[in-house]
Structure formats: structure tokens, C-alpha cells
């Protein structure tokens, strides 16, 4: 069951089609909790229904105009492009999930997320561990932007988080 326009529309209706209103429970949810929920995403080639449901749940967490910037600067904009990217990844991997090691709050609703992608290309092969360092921007209860960095140091510099930790421990 591929992710299609209907999947994106369901997510848009669930998220209100725009930033969550102030009275919406999602607007009061802490950014770190939203990012933690996003990392529940799981893509399984042999279970397209579960993959489509997982992608739909993920899309409910993102703003309709979300921007996803992968390492190297390639940008994906909007729920539709993000849904297509995730669907293609679901076709590429037998199983793909995330092992979240830590979340570190930065300024302006940004969160530094560190961990590993666990991805197996075939059922008889062990999962590869691919480290990630992503910076998420959450506003009014929805993910507005995700930036993927090559390593932790680059992500820390982008968020100013390393300097903040030094100042707090001094």
C-alpha cells in the first residue's frame, strides 16, 4: 500500500492543515516529545500496510510546509515530497528503524537528535548501523524543519548547543 495523496490528506486533516491552534493539545506538547514520537517511524518492505500507517503517523507530526534538508544540502519541501521520500526508502530497505540515543534542546524550539538508523537491505542480512545527527525545529506543536548533519560536532555547532553546555558547566 503506497503512500499517496490520500495518506498526505489524512495527515493534513489530522494536523488541522496548518500549525496547531493554541488550544490544540499538540501545541502544548513539548518539542522533545514530538521528536521522540517521530523516531517511532518504521519502514518495512514486506509489510506495506504497517509502513503506510507508520508514515501517516509520522506525517501527522509535521507542518504542511515542512522542509527536510539532507546531508549535502538536498531539500525536500512539504508533506507530499516527504511522504514520497519515505515511501521510496520503504521500498529500498527490508527493514528500517531508528535507535534514538539522545535529545538535546537548543534555542527556538530546536532539538538536536543523536542516534543510529538500523537498516537491513534483505531479511537474511544484519542491519547496518548508520549514525545520525539531526536538528529538528518544532513550532506550535508541529515539525517545521529537519536538518541532517554529517556528524555530531557539525550539528552541535549549527545549534550552538556545544557552546551552551560549556557555559552551563563553567
State the CATH number of the domain containing residue 128. 3.10.450.50
Residue 98 — φ and ψ, nearest 5°? -120, 135
CB 7 within 8 A of CB 82: no
User: Percentage of the chain surpassing pLDDT 70?
Assistant: 78
d(C-alpha 162, C-alpha 112), whole Å: 11
- pLDDT confidence of 8, banded at 50, 70, 90? very low
Q: 76 versus 13: which is more confidently predicted?
A: 76
**Is 79 a residue whose pLDDT tops 70?**
yes
- Report the C-alpha gap between 44 and 94 in whole angstroms: 5
Res. 10: pLDDT tops 70: no
Range of the domain at 15: 5-169
**What number is the average pLDDT over the span 118-130?**
93
CB atoms within 10 A of CB 120: 17
Structural domain count, the chain: 1
Length of the chain measured in residues: 170
Tens-digit pLDDT profile for residues 30-49: 999 999 999 999 999 999 99
In the chain the first and final C-alpha atoms are separated, in Å, by 53
pLDDT in tens, 81-100: 999 999 999 888 999 999 99
**Structural contact between residues 63 and 136, judged by C-beta atoms closer than 8 angstroms:** no
Cell numbers 538535546 correspond to: 104
Tell me, yes or no, if the pTM score tops 0.75.
Answer: yes
pLDDT: is 108 or 133 the higher one? 133
Task: Please state, in angstroms and rounded to a whole number, the distance separating the CA atoms of residues 66 and 59.
Answer: 10
Contact 115, 108 (CB under 8 A): no
Amino acid at each position: 500500500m503506497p503512500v499517496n495523496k490520500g495518506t498526505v490528506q489524512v495527515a493534513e486533516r489530522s494536523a488541522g492543515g496548518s500549525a496547531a491552534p493554541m488550544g490544540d493539545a499538540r501545541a502544548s506538547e513539548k518539542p522533545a516529545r514530538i521528536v521522540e514520537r517521530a523516531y517511532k517511524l518504521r519502514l518495512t518492505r514486506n509489510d506495506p500496510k504497517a509502513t503506510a500507517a507508520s508514515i501517516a503517523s509520522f506525517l501527522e507530526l509535521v507542518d504542511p510546509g515542512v522542509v527536510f534538508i539532507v546531508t549535502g544540502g538536498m531539500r525536500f519541501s512539504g508533506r507530499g515530497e516527504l511522504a514520497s521520500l519515505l515511501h521510496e526508502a520503504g521500498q529500498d530497505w527490508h527493514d528500517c528503524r531508528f535507535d534514538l540515543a539522545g535529545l538535546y534542546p537548543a534555542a527556538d524550539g530546536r532539538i538536536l537528535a543523536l542516534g543510529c538508523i538500523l537498516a537491513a537491505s534483505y531479511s537474511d542480512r544484519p542491519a547496518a548501523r548508520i549514525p545520525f545527527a539531526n536538528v529538528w525545529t518544532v513550532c506550535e506543536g508541529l515539525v517545521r524543519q529537519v536538518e541532517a548533519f554529517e556528524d555530531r560536532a557539525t550539528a552541535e555547532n549549527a545549534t550552538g548547543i556545544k557552546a551552551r553546555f560549556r557555559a552551563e558547566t563553567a
